[in-house]
Amino acid sequence: MTPSNGTTSEKWNLRLYTAGQSPKSLAALDNLKRVCEEHLPGRYSIEVIDLLKNPRLAKDDQIVAIPTLVRKLPEPLRRIVGDLSDTERTLVGLQLRQIK
């Protein structure tokens, strides 16, 4: 696996699917911001999709459990299910760190 953080200035587009302000959704957003600020400062955007308001949007990224993070860019698309409390797993899932 090749880490995608590298030294490039590529823009990261992340989409976080949430269920309103459920505890796990809020935790995921908080954890995601922390990871992004640490590893992708200034070159990421987070789009939060509240599936309680519009559940049909789940179909776009085949979401089954909430919260789910989807890395839209850089490609390939990656999904991470859960509140992102396991930072190591989040970094590996986003390909910001290689599997040990």
Site string for other proteins, 45-64 (x = CB under 8 A): ------xx--xx-xx--xxx
CB of 69 to other proteins, least distance (A): 11
**Counting Cβ atoms within 10 Å, is residue 87 exposed (0-12), middle (13-18) or buried (19+)?**
middle
Site for other proteins in 3-42 (CB under 8 A): 19, 22-25
- In Å, how far from its chain's centre is CA 15? 6
Token code pair at residue 13: 């587009």
Secondary structure (3-state) at 12: strand
CB of 94 to other proteins, least distance (A): 13
- Check residue 92 for interaction with other proteins (CB under 8 A): no
- Check residue 67 for interaction with other proteins (CB under 8 A): yes
Alpha-carbon span 92 to 25, nearest angstrom: 20
Binding residues for other proteins (CB under 8 A): 19, 22-25, 51-52, 55-56, 58-59, 62-67, 79-86, 93
